[in-house]
Structure 1
Amino acid sequence: MRYIIIGTGAVGGAIGGRLAQAGHEVVLVARGKQFAALSEGGLRLRVPEGELTYRLPVVDTPGALGTLRGDDVLVLAVKTQDAEATLETWGPVAVEGGGTAAERLPVLCAQNGVESRRLALRRFRHVYGVCVWLPSTFVEPGVVSAAGSPLTGMLHLGRHPHGTDDTARRIAADLETARFEAPVVADVARWQYAKLLGNLANALEAVSGPLASDESRALYARVRAEGEAVLDAAGIAWASEEEQAALRGDKITLVPLDGAPRGGGSSWQSLTRGTGTIEADYLNGEIVLLGRVHGVPTPLNELLQRLANAFARERRAAGSMPVAELTRLADDAVAFVQET
C-alpha cells in the first residue's frame, strides 16, 4: 500500500514520517511554505530518538502525482475547514485500471472533530474515521515534532458510518509497524466523540494559553460539562476518560524535545503560524450545533468559538487573553443566557 498524506502538519507529518521510517511508501501533499520546505529540505521529524529527515516525494496538487494506484490510501490530515475543498479536488482523480479515487480508494479522515467523515461520505464510497491521539506540533515549515514514547500515538480506526473490514486491518497493521497502536473498532465514532470533548479545550488554549492554572482548568471543566450535557441530550455515546486512560496506560509518555517546545494543541498552533483560520467551528461549534438542535444552551462553547475565530481572523497572538478576562466573559455569557 502507498500512503498519500494530504496535509503534512502535526498529524500528517508525524504519520507520514513514521510510516516512511518503517519502510512504507509515502507521498506527501502540501502547499505554500510547507510545500517549499519539504521539497527543498525534506521532512524533519523531531522525535525522542532525535531529529530524522525524510526526503519523500512531495506534490502540491493531484495533477503533479498523475494517475493514482489501486493500492493507494488517502490520508486526509488537513484541518476540517479545508476538508471540503480537498475532497472535491481528490475525488475525481483517475485510478489505474479505471474509476476514480472517490469510487475505489479508501480515505482515512485523520482529523479532530466528527464532521469531515460526513463530508467525505458525500463523495467517497470507502470512508474510514480515525480517532487521533497523537501529541505533535507543527509551527515551523518542514519541521514536525512528535514527543510520544515508546509509541508515537494511538489511532483508532473503523469504517464510517460503522463497521470494520480487511482494508482497515491492513492499514492498522502498517501503522503498528510505525510506532502507533491502531485498534480497529466498529464504533470509531464513540472514540471520536470522546476526543471531541477533550478538543473543546483547544480554543481555550488558543485564546488564553495552556491549561496551566487552576482557573483555566476550572473553566475547561465547565466547557466540557456543557459538551457532555449536549451529547447526552443527543443520545450520543462516548468513551469515558477512565476507558481511555486504561487503554493508553503508559504507552505514550511525552518526552521533552530539544528545540521543540509544546505551547498548545492544534488550534494554538494555527494561531502561532498565522494561518488566518482555525478549527473552532468543528470543535466547539459542533457542540453549539447539537445544542441548538436538541435545545441545550451552550454559552461557553459559543463564546470560545466566536473568540477563536476572531483571534484567527485578526491574527492575534496565541494565548494573549488573560484567563481572568476569559473567565469574566464566560460568566457574563452564562448570565445572559439565564436572563433571557
Structure 2
Amino acid sequence: MRFLMIGAGGIGAYYAARLRAAGHDLTLTARGEHLRALNENGLKVQHPEFQFDQPVTALDHATLIKTLSADQFDLIIISLKSGATHALLTELGAWLGGSDTPVLSLQNGVDNETQIAVQIGDNRTVGGLAVRIGGHIIEPGIVEAKGPAQVVMGAWPNANSTPELQSHLQPLVDAFNTAGIPTTLSDDIQYQLWRKLLINNGVNPLSALTMLDTRALTQHPAYGKAVYRMMEETALAAEADGISLSKTDVDEMYNLICNFDAIKTSMLVDKEKGRPLELEEICGAVLRRCAALGKEAPTTELIQALLKQDINT
C-alpha cells in the first residue's frame, strides 16, 4: 500500500518506519533541519523492540502539493500537534479535497476529526488514536520511541454514521497489524478518543507543570490524586458530545497509566524544548465543554492557569 504521513515527529516517524519496514510505499512530510536530515541521512528509529535506519522519501508541504496528488495514496495520516490542524487544513485543504482517499488523524484531543470532516466530509474522515506510545525527535532525523505503540481507528464519528467507510478500513487495519503495529477497528471511535483524553488531560498538563514522567507523577501521593480528579472532570466534559464515560472507564484508564512505562508526556517534552503546549486542545477541550454544561472542572482549571502563568513568566 501507499501511505502519506503528514508530520514526521516522534509518533508519526515511528509508525512510518514500521510501515516502510514492512515493504509499503511511504512518504513523509517534515520541515527545517529535520527534513534536511531525513533527505540526507534517512530516518533512524530507536525502539526497544524495533530498529530502523533507512532512506525515506520526505517532502515539505509545498513540494507535496506540486509533485503528488492525494489520490495517489491509500491512506493519508495526520500526526501533527493538534494546534497545527487548522493551519494544515488551510494549507492543504484544496489538495486534500481533490481526492477520495481517507484521512486518518493520529493526534491528541477530541476536536481534530471535526475540523477534518468539515474540510473533506465524514465519508473520508477516520478517527484514530495512538495508545501506549512515547516518541520524540532526539536530534534531526533520529527518533526514540517506547511502548507497545498500539493504534485504534474507526470511521468518524462512528460506524453507524459512515458504514461504507468503516467497511473499507479492515484492509488498512490488517496492513498495520502485519507491519507490527497492534491495531484494532472501533465501531465508536469518538468514544475511544474521549477515553484517551482521560489520560491526556490527567497526566499531560500536570507532567509539564511538575516536570515529572508518568510513573513519578502517578505514584506521588498528592499528584496521583490530582491526575484522577482531572480524569473525572474529563468524563464530565464528554457528556457535552453525547459520550458517556463511566467510573469504570476512569478507573481503567487511571490504572493503565499507573502501570505503564515511565514516559515523558508530549507536553512535558514540549515544555522542555520551549515549544507551544497543547493546552487549548486538551485542558481547553474539557473546560469549554464543562462550561457549556454548567459544570465545574476546578483541578483542570487550576493546572491550566498555573501552566499559563509559568509559561508567561
Same fold? TM cut 0.5:
yes
Structure 1 unaligned residues grouped into runs of 5+: 94-99, 255-261, 315-340
User: Number of aligned pairs?
Assistant: 293
Q: Is the 8 A contact 1:45 1:145 kept in 2?
A: yes
Shift of residue 128 of structure 1? 0.3
Task: Please give the alpha-carbon distance, in whole angstroms, between the structure 2 residues aligned to 1:304 and 1:253.
Answer: 23
Q: CA deviation at 1:235?
A: 4.2
Could you give the per-residue CA deviations for residues 178-214 of structure 1, whole angstroms, max 9, x where no partner exists?
2122111220111110000110110100110221422
| Residue 51 to residue 24, structure 1, CA distance change in 2 (3 Å) | same
Tell me which residue corresponds to 1:236: 243
Aligned equivalent of 1:154: 150
Compared CA separation, residues 144 and 304, structure 1 to 2 (3 A): same
Q: Amino acid of the residue matched to residue 214 of structure 1?
A: P
- Would you say the 8 A contact 1:278–1:309 is kept in 2? no
Deviations 1:189-244 (A, max 9, x none): 11110000110110100110221422211121222222223335764224825767
TM-score, normalization by structure 2: 0.85
Q: Does residue 182 of structure 1 match 2:189? A: no
CA–CA separation in structure 2 for the residues paired with 1:292 and 1:114? 16
- The residue type equivalent to 1:135 in the other structure is I
Matches of 1:139 and 1:67 in 2, distance apart? 26
Q: Which residue of 2 aligns with 1:129?
A: 127
1:146/1:263 CA distance change after superposition, 3 Å: closer
SS at match of 2:27: strand
Structure 2 SS opposite 1:191: helix
CA contact (8 A) 1:102 1:124 kept: no
- Partner-residue secondary structure (3-state), 2:184: coil
Counterpart in 1 of 2:86?
84
Shift of 1:171: 1.4
Q: CA RMSD in A?
A: 2.6
Relative to total residues, which structure has the larger helix share, 1 or 2? 2
Matched, 1:44 2:44: yes
Q: Which deviations, in whole Å up to 9, do the C-alpha atoms of 1:237-273 show, x marking residues without a partner?
A: 2482576799x9xxx985xxxxxxx651111121223
Q: 1:37 to 1:173 in 2, by over 3 A?
A: same
Q: Secondary structure at the match of 2:169?
A: helix
Q: Which residue of 1 aligns with 2:283?
A: 284
Give the conservation status (yes or no) of the 8 Å contact 1:2–1:25.
Answer: yes
Could you list the per-position Cα deviations for residues 142-171 of structure 1 after superposition, in whole angstroms to 9, with x for gaps in the alignment?
A: 2222223xxx32211111122152331121
Query: Percent identical across equivalent pairs?
Result: 24
- Separation of aligned partners in 2, 1:253 and 1:123: 36
Q: How far apart, in 1, do the equivalents of 2:177 and 2:152 lie?
A: 11
Preserved contact between residue 134 and residue 154 of structure 1 (Cα < 8 Å):
yes
Does structure 1 residue 120 correspond to structure 2 residue 127? Answer: no
Instruction: Supply the distance in 1 between the matched residues of 2:167 and 2:232 (Cα, whole angstroms).
Output: 37
Conserved in 2, the CA contact under 8 Å of 1:35 and 1:60?
Answer: yes
State the Cα deviation string for residues 37-78 of structure 1 (Å, max 9, x = none).
222222111111464212100001143461325341210100
Whether 1:13 aligns to 2:13 is: yes
In structure 1, distance between residues paired with 2:209 and 2:2: 38
| TM-score (structure 1 length as normaliser) | 0.78
Partner Cα separation in structure 1 for residue 58 and residue 233 of structure 2:
42
Query: Partners in 1 of 2:260 and 2:226 — Cα distance?
Result: 26
Give secondary structure in 1 for the equivalent of 2:76: strand
SS in 2 for 1:123: helix
Distance 1:245 1:291 in 2: 20
Please say if 1:306 is aligned against 2:305.
yes
| Structure 1 range deviating more: 185-194 or 230-239 | 230-239
Which structure has the larger Rg?
Answer: 1
Partner SS, residue 186 of structure 1: coil
289-298 vs 204-213, which moves further: 204-213
Alignment counterpart, residue 220 of structure 1, candidates 217, 227, 236 = 227
> Deviation above 6 Å: which 4+ runs of structure 1?
242-246
Structure-2 change in CA distance of 1:173 and 1:40 (3 Å): same
- The alignment partner of 1:179 has SS state of coil
Contact 2:152 2:185 in 1 (8 A): yes
Q: Which residue of 2 aligns with 1:296?
A: 295
Distance 1:191 1:46, change over 3 A: same
Paired letter, 1:171: L
Distance in 2 (CA, whole Å) between partners of 1:153 and 1:285 is 26
Structure 2: tracts of 5 or more residues without a match: none
Q: In the TM superposition, what whole-angstrom CA distance separates every residue of 1:256-301 from its partner, at most 9, and x where no partner exists?
A: xxxxxx65111112122322x1111111111101011000112221
**Cα pair 1:202 1:265 within 8 Å, conserved:** yes
